[in-house]
Structures are given as structure tokens and as C-alpha cells.
Homo-oligomer: A and B are copies of this chain.
Amino acid sequence: MSTPISKSPSTRGPIDHNVRTQIVEAADQHFSHYGYEKTTVSDLAKSIGFSKAYIYKFFDSKQAIGEAICANCLSSIITDVSEKISHSPTASVKLRNLFKYLVESCVKLFFQDRKLYEIAAFAASEKWPSTIVYEEQIKQLLTTIILEGRESGEFERKTPIDDTVNSIFLVMSPFKNPLLLQYNLDIAEDAPPLLSALILRSLSP
């Protein structure tokens, strides 16, 4: 069966939420065992018990399924971290906690529980749309915290906000991108507090 080529992988066919979720969950399990890159849609269909044609009614390629898994995974990191920092009393504490919980969440999701590393790494190296959304969401969280701290007088206001956000984002990058995080696992606990302290010194008014 030939697959239609689409530049940006997308979903299609009847929007049947349950079947889509079922395929994504089964694929997630299957990829965890057999790896993302080595699996074909045929393998997946066989393992789930659906026909290949039926899967193609919901996802136009293996990447579209991978994208859905990756988007779920990254969005759960953002939800988890946002919830955790929402109770922090000040912008400084929020920033420390953002870094701490972001790294914890990434280590857990990419390297422990769900063995999502391969898809996440593939997504990061191919710059899938879900990874771009993820990076924008982290920048958005950072911007909100910086503005809050500038408002409350905790942080300096001279540096252009974009420079502040982008430079802090760069400091955090090796710990939230799975491709880089794999080499930083041994310092994933000690580095964030040291780096947060440096960032906070850089923000002092």
C-alpha cells in the first residue's frame, strides 16, 4: 500500500477519539519494546490487531503516530512542571523550581519509566513540530516568571527581555533536550541548583 506523502505529518480520516487514543497507546507500548526506528506501520498493525489500511485512516504515516506520542509526552512534562511551580511563592523560587522539575521530569520520562528516549531523541534531531511547541512553552513559562520578577522588583529590568529569556533558555537546554541530556545524566541532580544560583545572580537588580 502506498502512503500519501505529506510534509508535515498530520492526522486524517474520521475523528474517532477512542480509536486514535487506542492506536497511540498500543504504538507507545510497541515502540518501547521494539524501538521506533526499526518498526514499520505493518509491524504496528500486526501487533495492535488492526489492518494497516485502518491505521492509515487515522494517521498518515508512522511519524504521525510518533508525533502524537511525542506530543503527549512533552505536553505531560509541561503540565507537570507548570502545576508544580504554580504554588511557588516568588519569581526566584519559581525559576529554581522550573529548572529542577523540568530536569526531573525529562530524566523520568526519557530515561526511566517509559523508555521514550528513542522517539524523543529522533523528534529533537528532526525538529518535529511537537518539539518546537515544547521549546516555545518553556520560553513562555520563563517569560512569565521573568516578568513577574521584574514587576515585583526581584529582578533587574535593564536587559532586553528577549536576551534574558533566550540566555536562560540556553543555560537550561542541555538538560531538557534528550540528545544532550543523555550525556548529562550524571550531573542532572547537582547542576540545576548551581546553574539556578548563577541565573539568579544574573537577574539581581
Contact = CB atoms under 8 A, between A and B. Distances in A.
A171 interface: yes
Contacts of A82: none
A141 interface: no
Interface residues of A, number: 28
A11 interface: no
A180 B163 CA distance: 23
Interface in A147-205: 156, 159, 163-164, 166-168, 170-171, 173-174, 177, 179-180, 183-184, 187, 191, 194-195, 197-199, 201-204
A169 to B, nearest CB: 10
Contact of A194 (B170, B184, B195, B199): B170
A195 B195 CA distance: 12
A166 B194 contact: yes
A81 to B, nearest CB: 21
Contacts of A156: 201
B202 A198 contact: yes
Contacts of A173: 174
Nearest 4 pairs between A and B by C-beta? A202-B202, A201-B202, A167-B198, A167-B194
